[in-house]
């Protein structure tokens, strides 16, 4: 009787092993719905209003690229640090331009040679350009001023293929544009719980975004702001992910178990 019980237990060992392996494989699977963006039951064309995007307002520690031109080059010589040098920064890129940029100080002022300190905090780029141009009307002949924000970058972290710090030059950068720069979300990224971290007036805000819903296209957070951070949380499936699973240890354990089973049998 005792021997028959032992035999029954030994017979069930492979069954439990097969069952455990099946559960492991199933738990590691990622369904198609978990990797799709903008899911919508309506498969026809659907129109969404463009997400609102207010012009960026400057804050302390922002860096500005300034280019000043005039019909009279002789008068422009007094702005050699701004006009002359900045004519050749086209190939330097964002970080190269940062070396020649002007920084907004902690009090919210921007110092421009000859003009002096200019209050720029909470002003838009176009407002700063007009402000500098008006200050130069009595100094230069028909001055032309171009102002660009140098520190225009976002950080994309978490379950993306290429996490990192990305510089962009366009006026608008959507959350999908940022994910494209980072090589897209991996199959183990949680698209329903993307996290946006945004600093506004010294306060950090944590915003949850569901990238599987089409209404993200009209969200106030669809277009990112300079210095935003996007974090993609991992799915629970990653814990049992077969790509990260130690196959050598796993199969060694199975082999040892089957060997013991055969010996006991």
CA distance 51 to 222: 7
Bridge partner residues of 206 (DSSP): 197
DSSP result, 42-60? --S----PPPP-PPPB--T
Number of other residues whose CB lies within 10 A of the CB of residue 54? 9
Question: How do residues 15-47 score in pLDDT, each as one tens digit?
Answer: 555 555 555 554 555 555 667 888 877 667 677
3-state DSSP assignment of residue 22: helix
Look at residue 95 and tell me whether its pLDDT is greater than 60: no
Question: How do residues 173-183 score in pLDDT, each as one tens digit?
Answer: 999 999 999 99
Cα–chain center distance at 255: 45
CA distance 213 to 197: 19
What share of the chain in percent tops pLDDT 90?
35
Cα–chain center distance at 56: 18
The region that residue 93 occupies, defined by phi over 0 for left and psi between -120 and 50 for alpha, beta otherwise, is left
3-state DSSP assignment of residue 8: helix
DSSP result, 207-232? EEE-TTBGGGGGSTTSEE-TT-EEEE
Whole-structure pTM over 0.85, yes or no? no
C-alpha angle 166-121-107 in degrees, rounded to nearest 5? 105
The two tokens of residue 252 are: 């060694």
Q: What is the mean pLDDT of residues 89-109?
A: 70
Instruction: Name all domains of the chain by residue range, CATH numbers in brackets.
Output: 32-54+153-239 (3.10.560.10), 63-149 (3.30.1950.10)
The two tokens of residue 144 are: 């032309």
């Amino acid at each position: 009787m005792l021997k028959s019980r032992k035999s029954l237990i030994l017979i069930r060992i492979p069954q439990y092993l097969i069952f455990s392996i099946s559960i492991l494989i199933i738990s590691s699977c990622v369904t198609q719905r978990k990797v799709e963006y903008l899911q919508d039951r309506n498969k026809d064309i659907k129109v969404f209003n463009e997400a609102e995007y207010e012009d960026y307002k400057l804050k302390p520690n922002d860096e500005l690229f300034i280019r000043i031109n005039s019909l009279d080059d002789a008068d422009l010589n007094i702005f050699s640090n701004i006009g002359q040098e900045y004519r050749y920064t086209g190939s330097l890129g964002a970080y190269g331009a940062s070396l020649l940029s002007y920084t907004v100080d902690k009090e919210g002022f921007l110092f421009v040679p000859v003009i002096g300190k200019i209050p720029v905090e909470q002003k838009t780029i176009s407002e700063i350009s007009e402000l500098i141009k008006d200050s130069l009307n009595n100094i230069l002949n028909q001055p032309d001023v171009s102002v660009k924000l140098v520190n225009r970058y976002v950080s994309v972290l978490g379950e993306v293929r290429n996490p990192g710090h990305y510089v962009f030059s366009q006026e608008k950068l959507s959350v999908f544009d940022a994910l494209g720069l980072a090589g897209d979300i991996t199959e183990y990224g949680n698209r329903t719980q993307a996290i946006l971290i945004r600093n506004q007036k010294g306060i950090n805000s944590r915003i949850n975004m569901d990238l599987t819903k089409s209404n993200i296209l009209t969200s106030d957070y669809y277009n990112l702001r300079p210095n935003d951070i996007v974090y993609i949380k991992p799915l629970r499936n990653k814990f049992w992910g077969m790509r990260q699973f130690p196959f050598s240890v796993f199969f060694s354990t199975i082999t040892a178990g089957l060997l013991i089973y055969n010996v006991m049998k």
